Amino acid sequence: MKYIPATRPTTLWRYILQEHIGPFFFSMAVITLVFILNLVFKELGRFLSRGLEINIILEFFFLNIAWMLALTVPMSVLVATLMTFGRMSGDNEIVAIKASGISILQIIFPVLVAGSCLAAGLIWFNNEILPDFNHRARLLMSDIARKRPTLSLEEGVFCREIPDFTIMVQKIKEKPDTSYVENIRIEDVSDPNRMKTIYAENGKVYFNQALGSLVFILNNGQVHELDLKTMEQYRILSFPKQIVSVDIPNFRIERSQSQHRGDREKSARAMLEEIEQNKREIGRQKMEIENVANQFALKYFPQQEQSQSSNLSRLFPRRVVGHPGTRHQRIALAISDHLRLDQKLANANGVIKSRKKENAKLMVEVQKKYSIPISCIVFILIGAPLGIMSRKGNLTVAAGTSFFFFLLYWASLIGGEELADNQMITPFWAMWGANMIVGLTGIYLLIRSIKESTFINWNRLNSLIKRNKNENTR
């Protein structure tokens, strides 16, 4: 058991926080590495097939680390809390602290303060840093998708990857930056009125990264040109050496700019403003429905009959105001107006439904920007009593226990988001339900730890394992 200077609460609190630092950063590094490896395995094929430069790949991972941190920090808080309090309980440090007159709540207090600071920092991060990183990552991903893969030349095979050009070489010898080729044939049909074919005995090929072009340095060859308009002018030009540069569209990453942002690329303030705009549009569409229905009623129903009948879907009114003609003409006019009314109402209702659904998705993202950071506090409420009651501080126990609550928390979060997007529950309950479930469980376990009950009786568990071993050996 370590010596714990508990003469003053501030000294004890400093000690407890220092014990959390190592497990916190270790678990954050491990969890972030797992996310990165998952991203590498998912995108590795895309990177290799596109021939991306190392700086583009590093930028891609750097931009994606932002959303990883938003998730790994709460996870790391739970792992660090379990490991630290489990070790302190296993080394009887908790017993020594309590013997000096300090309660469990006082022991957990500094960790709750630190968790609250982390939660506040994450809220700022989710609103100020994460949206821009997500936006830049999406643009970079779309730029990578448009990039043409690295051109590959094979012996005796026509290469048609470049628009308006067909290239074939009989022999090729690859070097790190340059390829040496023999018996080259290049067909150029970029000019619709002229066909050009270049033959050469040998040469070398390399990519000009700055220009995004394929450069051929050809030796001992000929250029054959045919005028396709007259089909009479055919020229042959011989050359001892010639340089041919072929532009490759989208060979380089063309960085795009876009002002459009998705819901995960906006701050909570921006999404709330968009929600208000959608609400105003919903109100405008409702007023449009009311105006269209009133105009239809005034046109086809006498004023004295409107108080007696509210059914606006009658296709054959007894009279059509202001429209003389035969009965068949009036009926056709009424049917036409009714169909137009139905189409207008359907369009307005479609706009209202789409805006309501969009508002639900936006509000889910708004609530998520606050609920996930607050989980730092929730995980302390459940991690501290679990660590104290389990009396184990090793990584295996912490990882196993954390995995269970991660699974419970993220399953509730993902399920709630799906239900809220379909407007089956409110966004608030969708994003905060997991915090409430885990938080209430943590409060219950905290009360049990104050009463000095043990969540996992390791001595009894070990005795049961030994008893089973003895029975199996008999």
Which residues have C-beta within 8 Å of that of residue 10, sequence separation ≥ 6? none
The predicted pLDDT at position 376 comes to: 93
Mean pLDDT of the chain: 80
- Residue 190 CB neighbour total at 10 angstroms: 13
Residue 273 has pLDDT above 50, yes or no: yes
Asked which of 141-150, 198-207, 360-369, 410-419 is least confident by mean pLDDT, the reply is 141-150
The predicted pLDDT at position 295 comes to: 81
As a whole number of angstroms, the distance between CA 26 and CA 24 comes to 6
How distant is the alpha carbon of residue 276 from its chain centre? Answer: 24
As a whole number of angstroms, the distance between CA 228 and CA 55 comes to 46
- Helix axis angle for 9-50 and 104-128, nearest 10°, is 40
- Helix axis angle for 54-90 and 327-390, nearest 10°, is 50
Between residues 116 and 409, the one the model is more confident about: 116
- Provide the residue type at 415 as one letter: G
The predicted pLDDT at position 62 comes to: 92
Asked which of 171-175, 345-349, 422-426, 464-468 is least confident by mean pLDDT, the reply is 464-468
> Coil, helix or strand for 65?
helix
As a whole number of angstroms, the distance between CA 296 and CA 398 comes to 69
The predicted pLDDT at position 144 comes to: 76
Residue 185 has pLDDT above 80, yes or no: yes
Residue 237 has pLDDT above 50, yes or no: yes
As a whole number of angstroms, the distance between CA 97 and CA 152 comes to 69
Among 124, 133, 377, which Cα is nearest to 268's?
124
The predicted pLDDT at position 311 comes to: 47
Q: Are 211 and 245 in contact, with CB atoms under 8 Å apart? A: yes
- Provide the residue type at 418 as one letter: E
194-208/179-188 β-pairing: antiparallel
Share of the chain above pLDDT 90, in %: 21
Q: Is 79 exposed, middle or buried (0-12, 13-18, 19+ CB in 10 A)?
A: buried
Q: What is the per-residue pLDDT across 13-31, written as a single tens digit (0 to 9) for each?
A: 889 999 999 999 999 999 9
Q: What is the per-residue pLDDT across 240-271, written as a single tens digit (0 to 9) for each?
A: 888 888 776 655 566 667 778 888 889 999 99
213-227/234-247 β-pairing: antiparallel
The predicted pLDDT at position 454 comes to: 47
The predicted pLDDT at position 164 comes to: 79
Q: Are 252 and 212 in contact, with CB atoms under 8 Å apart? A: yes
194-208/165-174 β-pairing: unpaired
Hey, which of 89-98, 376-385, 392-401 has the most confident mean pLDDT? 376-385
Position 462 confidence tier, pLDDT thresholds 50, 70, 90: low
322 phi, psi to nearest 5 deg: 80, 10
**Prediction pTM value:** 0.70
Helix, strand, coil percentages, rounded to 5, for the chain: 65, 15, 25
Q: Span 122-126, mean pLDDT? A: 95
Residue 457 has pLDDT above 60, yes or no: no
Position 299 confidence tier, pLDDT thresholds 50, 70, 90: confident
Tokens of 245: 């540069």
Q: What is the per-residue pLDDT across 302-347, written as a single tens digit (0 to 9) for each?
A: 554 444 444 444 444 444 444 555 667 767 777 887 888 888 888 8
**Partners of 348 in the β-ladder:** none
Q: Are 406 and 64 in contact, with CB atoms under 8 Å apart? A: no
Q: Are 92 and 1 in contact, with CB atoms under 8 Å apart? A: yes
